[in-house]
Amino acid sequence: MLEVVRIPVLNDNYVWLLHDAISGETVAVDPAVAEPVLEAAAARGWTIGQIWNTHWHGDHVGGNAAIKAATGCVITGPAAEAEKIGTLDRTVGEGDTVRIGDHVATVMAVPAHTAGHIAYHLADDQILFVGDTLFAMGCGRLFEGTAAQMFANMARFATLPDDTIVYCAHEYTLSNGRFALGVEPGNAALAARVATVEAARARGEATVPTSIGIERETNIFMRARDVAQLAERRAAKDAA
């Protein structure tokens, strides 16, 4: 079994540490900053040997250089954004694989939030690192891509098994859920989830990771019937 540790950083970012006890290998996914990530690894007796980046934004790659300087780790990221991530050692795209011990992650090209955004899917472990593409009850803003691309991403994610655990990079769940409830007020599963999230946040608790099954029931972007409806919902959320 792989162990995944959530590290809250900055205002609402999450960095994920992925650890394989058998090989002793550790991966940092989208390290926004270095110090708390290195401290979290050291507290567990782990050494970060790899970084996996999903896209070029500074709150996902900002810790790359310092972590590499401290550990000598290998940094992997999207080939389509290599010019924007100067610290990459290896570039990957759709269908490529990366490994932690004997565990294999397949790279999924999921452009929309950024032009070259990727996700890492460890199918055998039912783990999916999505960066800023899919959020709990939300999706990423369309900074460099299109609603059609995001619709295709949502449809692709929706085909994965319900118990696939989704590790996104921000704590946006409460605002996403409240907005979604205005769009689908009759969705009982959504209403129940928002109530649960409100209580969790009131206690200062994190609300991610999530799962594909939960998102299929409560994520208005994954539930959009077509590109036009997703575009309409994304525009309304941006303006909210």
Going by the annotation, the residues of the binding site for Zn(2+) are 55, 57, 59-60, 113, 132, 170
Q: Which residues are annotated as a binding site?
A: 55, 57, 59-60, 113, 132, 170
Please give the Cα distance from 39 to 198 (Å, whole number). 30
Is 101 in contact with 22 (CB distance < 8 Å)?
Answer: yes
Instruction: List the catalytic residue out of 19, 20, 30, 57.
Output: 57
Q: Are the C-beta atoms of residues 126 and 165 closer than 8 Å to each other?
A: yes
Q: Is 163 a catalytic residue?
A: no
Longest dimension (CA), the chain: 52
Neighbour order of strands in the sheet with 165-168? 97-100, 103-109, 118-122, 127-131, 165-168, 210-211
How many whole angstroms from its chain centre is CA 103? 18
Which tokens belong to 156? 């692709």
Active-site entry in 20, 30, 125, 132: 132
- Catalytic: 117? no
Cβ atoms 208, 136 nearer than 8 A: yes
Does 60 qualify as catalytic in the annotation?
yes
For residues 104 and 23, is the Cβ–Cβ distance under 8 A?
A: no
Q: Does 170 participate in catalysis according to the annotation?
A: yes
Question: Active-site residue 59, yes or no?
Answer: yes
Q: Which residue in the list 19, 20, 30, 60 is annotated as catalytic?
A: 60
Q: Given 113, 117, 121, 125, which residue is catalytic? A: 113
Query: Which one of 20, 30, 59, 125 is the catalytic residue?
Result: 59
What are the residue numbers of the active site?
55, 57, 59-60, 113, 132, 170
